[in-house]
Chains A and B, each alone.
Chain A
């Protein structure tokens, strides 16, 4: 197993465009998390999936953001009508226990120009 994989690693987009990121978790992990990290800050929780069910969404996740995890495998995070404030590192993590540590991917760095 190669760990949590995120694509693309980097994305530069113009304001107003839509972007989609993909996360492939560790195969035996049924829990998947999306976090956002801005410069100089720690990761902030966005949303959580257990299998294919999205169980929690943070208030940080505005209605321009949507996440899916079809069939409980990979997940996608889409941002519509991007704004400059969306520029950040988007991190995906997975785990097989609720209270164990998460394994993070390398992240997707989004720059909105």
Chain B
């Protein structure tokens, strides 16, 4: 199935560092979501973006809806050990008469204390 491209695939950072990751697509989306998934669990919604250019924060997390509507970015400031996990972007698509989200390939984050 179709998946969005996320980069980097994985990253190791020191506790306290800022993190940036992005998600790109060849298609235009009208809604972007960012999820975090921990081992053995389902994804948990972090941030939802509904408008091109929108910048939304949730604590230390900030996400932006790209102007072209083909990309989105997630930043984590002052990382802590519990930020470890896989971060997925998701874009809302409308095909076969229904809306559904297509997910990215994920960015795996590891934080070194």
Q: A56-B96, A56-B98, A99-B99 are known contacts. Are A42 and B42 too (CB-CB below 8 A)?
A: no
Docked CA distance A88–B29 (Å): 27
Docked CA distance A41–B4 (Å): 11
Q: Select the residue from B42, B43, B96 with max chain A CB neighbours within 10 A.
A: B42
A56-B100 in contact (CB<8A): yes
**Residue A104 at the chain B interface, CB threshold 8 Å:** yes
Tell me the dominant secondary structure on chain A's binding face: loop
Docked CA distance A33–B33 (Å): 16
Contacts of A33 in B (CB 8 A): 100
Number of A-B contacts (CB under 8 A): 67
* Interface residue from A44, A98, A101 paired with B45 (Cβ < 8 Å): A101
A102-B88 in contact (CB<8A): no
B3-A99 in contact (CB<8A): no
* Interface residue from B3, B45, B96, B106 paired with A103 (Cβ < 8 Å): B45
Docked CA distance A99–B50 (Å): 9
Docked CA distance A21–B35 (Å): 23
Q: A56-B98, A99-B92 are known contacts. Are A41 and B44 too (CB-CB below 8 A)?
A: no
B107 to chain A, nearest CB (A): 10
- Which residue of chain A has its CB nearest to the CB of B42? A104
Contacts of A99 in B (CB 8 A): 30-31, 50, 92, 99
Interface residues of B (CB under 8 A from A): 1, 3-4, 30-31, 33, 35, 40-45, 48, 50, 88, 90, 92, 96-106
Assuming A56-B97, A103-B45, what are 15 further A-B pairs, CB within 8 angstroms? A42-B4, A42-B88, A42-B104, A44-B1, A44-B103, A45-B101, A55-B98, A56-B96, A58-B1, A91-B42, A91-B43, A98-B99, A101-B45, A102-B101, A107-B41
What are 21 pairs between A and B in contact, CB < 8 Å?
A33-B100, A40-B105, A40-B106, A41-B106, A42-B3, A42-B4, A42-B90, A42-B104, A43-B43, A43-B88, A44-B103, A55-B98, A56-B98, A58-B1, A91-B42, A99-B92, A101-B45, A102-B33, A104-B42, A105-B42, A107-B42
